[in-house]
Amino acid sequence: MTSTKESARPTGRSDRAAAEVSATHWEPSLARSQQNGTRWLPNPGSCAGQLLLELIERAANGDDRGVTPRDFYRSVWSQREAAYVFRLRQGGWTIETELREASNRFEWVKHAAYFLVLDLPDDEELQQWLILAREVRA
């Protein structure tokens, strides 16, 4: 009599949600914008919203410094800038990354500076979002 080993992976329906569903569950507005093919406008009071505002303003002013982790930390007290850049990229924003070298008290380190490629249409919703985001920052 031969014994057969059962597969450790279930073959039927899994109780776990699909990766796409669980990834978009925490941000329904991002999921809606991806489905509609529009750019995502995060909550103006969120860290992602304030980062987007900073990127838009620096791109509009021709500022070539970019937004660095230190700038982001000073403005919103968060060290998750790369995570918010990732979400903004998922939302349809074109953000470029430049690696830079700097030194702290002990060694040379590399950090990222983020730039928004400015191709903003004249969108009424975006203009209203910018007004709200500036009010939140003030």
Phi, psi of 64 (to 5 degrees): -100, 10
Task: Dump pLDDT digits (tens) for 11-68.
Answer: 555 444 444 444 444 577 888 887 887 888 999 989 999 999 999 999 988 888 889 9
Q: What is the mean pLDDT of residues 75-102?
A: 92
Give the Cα separation of 36 and 126 in Å (integer). Answer: 16
Three-state SS at 90: helix
**Closest to 27 (Cα-Cα) out of 47, 56, 57:** 47
Q: Which residue has the tokens 């995570």?
A: 83
- Please state the separation of Cα 47 from the chain's center in Å: 9
**Closest to 29 (Cα-Cα) out of 18, 43, 44, 17:** 43
Task: Dump pLDDT digits (tens) for 73-88.
Answer: 998 888 999 999 999 9
What predicted TM-score, i.e. pTM, was given to this entire model?
A: 0.73
